[in-house]
Amino acid sequence: MPDLRRRQLCRRSAFLARRAADRTAQLHAERQPPCHRQAAHGRGFPLLSRLCVHHAAARKPELAPADDDQPAQPRLGSAGAVRRAARIPGRHPPNRGRVVRRARRCGASFRRRLPAAPGGMSGLVLKGGLVACPLTAKVVPRDLVIRDGRIAGDHGTDLPQRDISGHMVIAGLINAHTHGHANLNKGVADLWPLEFSLTHGGWMAAGRDAQMVYDSTLLGAWDMLLSGVTAVYDLVVGMPAPEPEHLHAVAQAYHDAGLRAVIAPMVADIGFADSIPGLADALPAGRARALTGPPQDPQTLLRRIDEAMGFDLPEGIVWGLAPTIPHQCTPEFLQGAAALARARGWRLHMHVAESRLQAEVARALWNASPVDRLHELGILGPDFTVGHAVWLERRDFATLARYDATIAHIPASNQRLGAGVAPLRMMLEEGVTVALATDGANSSDAMNMFEAMRHATNLSRLWETPARRWVGAAQAYGMATLGGAAAMGLAPATLAPGAPADLACLSLQSPAFCPLNAPITQMVTAENGASVAHVFVAGREVLHAGRPTGFDPDALRARIAGFLPRLEANRADIRALAETTVPHVRRFLDNRRRPDLGFTRNLPCE
């Protein structure tokens, strides 16, 4: 825990000093192979070169420092920086002082549904509760003063008071990797390994209009609120390129729920079947194209992605980009996507070495690990998050740590898909910042971060290793809060004065905390979300007495029940096609040659 705490404090100081963009540029200038340094500056990528020319014509004076709970803004006067600064209250009047790249294509502006602060005041005092600090793992009785979206250091005598005796305040949990489009697919994947899930991926996101996308996202937000989540990194489906109306619906849902979010469309220019050597040939003629479509032109696809994400987001919600898996992206597309994201100030996230097959494919295609490949292409950096990271080796984790990248550890999904046990202790020993996540509802079903913490601690004990190398409850709490903040580029909610007021109040009257012996350990080992009473994001109460304040769950359930038959009819044909393809994929997986990787992430069973 001290190492994680030290890394987080260093990261925050970098954000507050406004050096994040410069740091990324320096890393790429010093550490990339010489053959890639030119590309990192925009030469060799026609789309990026045009973007840079466009930005140069739109430069503005240097921006003032951003609020601590917002990702650091680049000091360069890019159009993206000016556009994001326009969203910060008090920076510029609406629609002034910014460059609009293109007309809004996604309908009306965001609706303001969130309630005002309690009593119309600028804050609240939570009195009489216990406070669990994620930095020290200490639980102490303390009043918390919330003022203007932050934890204040005064006594709050001018603010409304709320008695929370019998409750414990925890830092808001952060779900560092999920898929909002999957929330309507709970229960469909009982005996699916990852490759079956990818075979079914087309129909699971098909046949939807913007209202369905909105409700699917809102359903996941509701689930997360009930487990104390205040921020989420959502890798929404967008292959080959996202629909602007769907992205707008996702942003609206998180805004209405009151959650912070990074919205990162998953994109790729190679279909799943074409990305695995030999798989397309093992399928019936034309099946690969029918399931995933033809290969895409990288430059055309990048332009479509940039256009789809060309609208402003509400406060607390930012863009990311998720080139889905290394071998589903051509080098031109992957480097172009990273360059586009960094030009726009977006974060990057990828699924890396989630299954053994993915590690095998990396060796077959590049004679290297996926991390080696990402390093070679110049993709790694402090804005980069690796999802899963199951089938990686110690040297891969050392490389990620050297670039200050983060890992989203997703233990429940790894178990559900039979992917293996990720070496969490090895990640931490190599100095990687680790966040926790649930994954999507088709591979984890529940968006429950208490379960993620519990799985992380328990699985670390299955290795044949001394107990001193196990991951404890305090470390899991730190990964679910401080680690998640690092992955999303947020200021950590430490519950200390000046920190963002992102927190959850847990009732200590539930069986999980009776008797109250070790609150943090009991939270990790016994809590399931039933104790969550209130949730605050930026000082605004978004869950009160177990009920969301920004939307009506009953109305949400009714809408989903109403459109579900239509959704099933819309995707019936492509679902049937996927189901008849699975036996061919199974045969390919069973009969393939399995090279010796020199390590395993599966537990032997006699």
Q: Which domains does the chain have, with CATH numbers?
A: 1-60+176-489+556-606 (3.20.20.140)
Judge whether 372 and 366 are in contact, CB under 8 Å: yes
What element of type H or E holds 335? helix 331-344
Residues in the chain, total: 606
Three-state SS for 324? coil
CA nearest 336: which of 31, 36, 34?
36
Q: Furthest-apart CA pair in the chain: how many Å? A: 73
C-alpha 61/C-alpha 509 separation (Å) is: 54
Query: How many whole angstroms separate alpha carbon 87 and alpha carbon 100?
Result: 13
Is the pTM for the entire model greater than 0.95? Answer: no
Confidence (pLDDT) at 65? 36
Map tokens 């910014």 to a residue. 98
Q: Is 82 left (phi over 0), alpha (psi -120 to 50) or beta?
A: alpha
Q: Read off the tokens for 172.
A: 């808001």
Cα separation, 526 vs 518, whole angstroms: 11
What pLDDT is recorded for position 279?
96
- Ranges of residues in the chain with a pLDDT under 70 are 1-121, 606
Helix (H) or strand (E) holding 265: none
| CB-CB contact of 280 with 288 (8 Å) | yes
Distance CA 91, CA 88 (A): 6
Number of Cβ within 10 Å of residue 314's Cβ equals 17
For residues 246 and 217, what is the distance between their CA atoms, to the nearest angstrom? Answer: 10
pLDDT in the model for residue 38: 30
| Cα of 187 vs its chain's centroid, Å | 22
Question: What are the beta bridge partners of residue 540?
Answer: 537
- Residue 434: strand, helix, or coil: strand
pLDDT at 293: 77
What is the model's pLDDT at position 111?
A: 57
Give the Cα separation of 452 and 476 in Å (integer): 9
* Tokens encoding 93: 């009047």
Q: Round to whole Å and give the CA distance between 40 and 48.
A: 10
Q: Do residues 285 and 246 touch, judged by C-beta distance below 8 A?
A: no
Q: Confirm if 491 and 537 have CB atoms less than 8 A apart.
A: no
